[in-house]
Structure 1
Amino acid sequence: MTEQTTEHVLDGRTKASFGQNGQKNDLSGRRAILLISVGQRYHEGDKLRATVELLNRTGFGQVTVAVADTLQRTNYLAWDPVEAHRRALREGDAWLERNSKILGRLSVPNGVLRWDEALQDPDYPRFLRRIRDAYRDDPGYRGAVDSTIRNFIDRMVSRDPCVDIRKAFDGCLSYLIEECPIIQPMWAHQGYDHVVYPQPMTAAMAETHRLFVAREYPGKGSWLSLRFKKRAAAPAAA
């Protein structure tokens, strides 16, 4: 089946679009999280500008830019945990400074949420416990998380065949067990209708949504993946 898209064009080289969920739903007035993975190229430059313009034209009622900076500390396998956190925090600071002008183009009510703030949210511990319990006790959930980890590790090994697989697995597991309860279901509990992100849901995130959001918070936490396409060059003047 061909995926339908709703496309909005930025005065730049790239246009951003939502997938099928964005096409089917009226998004005006909804609350959304723009989830940022610091270090990813689709959250920089022209693609970030295209994303901001798309959010503006969609008419969201409120957008929170969630900068998942210190979450990345679990990827720094060779670093001391304290130094890994400091490094990830500095990279989040640099991302915000580097992209402040682009974020300033958001015309809908908006704010910035740093990952450490999410970790300190009073709602977080109870959702974290539920995710940990599910991973321990539910074979289906554990399988979804482990399959996501295997995909991550396959990509890591393709870049570095000497990677320590056991250490990488533990780091990826820590990443997902920390990430999933915040993105789904904590933000759904807090009333966010959509999470906007360039990539589709991972198996772990999709299963988290199914188990902890779909019935408890119907209509919340819907995933809106982004697509980017280069605009055709304007014809030269005669």
Structure 2
Amino acid sequence: MNSYLVDGRTKANFGEAAKKLTLAGTRAILLVSVGQRYHEGDKLRATVELVNRSEFKQLTIAVADTLQRSNYIDASPEQAYARSLREGDEWLERNDKILGQLSVPNEVLRWDEALKDPDYPQFRQRIERAYAEIAEYRQAVDSTIKKFIDRLTARTPEADTEKAFKGCLEYLIEECPIIMPMWAHQGYDHVIYPQPMTAAMAESQRLFVTTEYPGKGGWLSLRFKKRAAAADQLA
């Protein structure tokens, strides 16, 4: 199991755009990509502090664990699922104390629970149809996949790009309907994540959220800044 240092020197914010928003009293989802370092240790602690300061009415911690099974292209489906589920268990155990510092009402949502939501099939069908029939949507999804494959081949030039494309497409077709638009449909005002939206997610928001669920499904990108040690000593 990995260990991560919590040194208390990182501060999180939502950037300039969020300053115009009233976050207090709204419902938010903290989307967690299991395995990413910005969801661990000091950065997770800083995220929790920011959530507390923002005074959300309610927070759902969405642990996107079994979603990652599509990334394990060299494993069998059974092995990939078991690995991703185990890593979700380990993430929750490893970060239990940090999550326990949340002062806003909160709950944990595992990815399998989202997949079993009765709302999911209808939104997945709409995403699948958009990919098959709307050129702009297909282009947005494919460009998101291309960025992933470019990073993959930079690390592993001999990687099977055809297999990787298939896995990425499965990932996005599963991910997009849940994050945009299902959560907006369920009344969530914001999705909190350390990175900007991908092209696929932004196009999902534009097509399925902006008009149908105005004011819902806003994207809050986390930004992290290291505080100087001297400032910490004076705090």
Scaled by the length of structure 2, what TM-score is found? 0.95
2:108 maps to: 112
CA distance, structure 1, for counterparts of residue 169 and residue 7 of structure 2: 40
For residue 24 of structure 2, the aligned residue among 25, 28, 35 is 28
Give unmatched runs, 5+ long, in structure 2: 1-5
2:133 maps to: 137
Offset at 1:82? 1.2
Q: How many percent of aligned residue pairs carry the same amino acid?
A: 71
2:9 maps to: 13
Q: What secondary structure is seen at the aligned counterpart in 1 of 2:152? A: helix
Give unmatched runs, 5+ long, in structure 1: 1-9
Offset at 1:20? 3.0
Q: What secondary structure is seen at the aligned counterpart in 1 of 2:221? A: strand
CA distance, structure 2, for counterparts of residue 139 and residue 19 of structure 1: 32
Scaled by the length of structure 1, what TM-score is found? 0.94
For residue 82 of structure 1, the aligned residue among 78, 82, 90 is 78
For residue 146 of structure 1, the aligned residue among 142, 149, 172 is 142
Deviations 1:183-224 (A, max 9, x none): 000000000000000000000000000000000000000000
For residue 200 of structure 2, the aligned residue among 199, 204, 212 is 204
1:216 maps to: 212
**Worse-superposed segment, 153-162 or 30-39:** 153-162
Q: Is residue 2:101 matched to residue 1:102?
A: no
**Structure 1 runs of 4+ with >6 Å offset:** none
Give the root-mean-square deviation of aligned CA atoms: 1.4
For residue 169 of structure 2, the aligned residue among 150, 160, 173 is 173
**Worse-superposed segment, 21-30 or 185-194:** 21-30
State the AA in 2 paired with 1:214. Answer: T
State the AA in 2 paired with 1:144. Answer: A
Tell me the number of residue pairs that the alignment of Structure 1 and Structure 2 aligns.
228
CA distance, structure 1, for counterparts of residue 219 and residue 71 of structure 2: 24
**Worse-superposed segment, 160-169 or 226-235:** 226-235
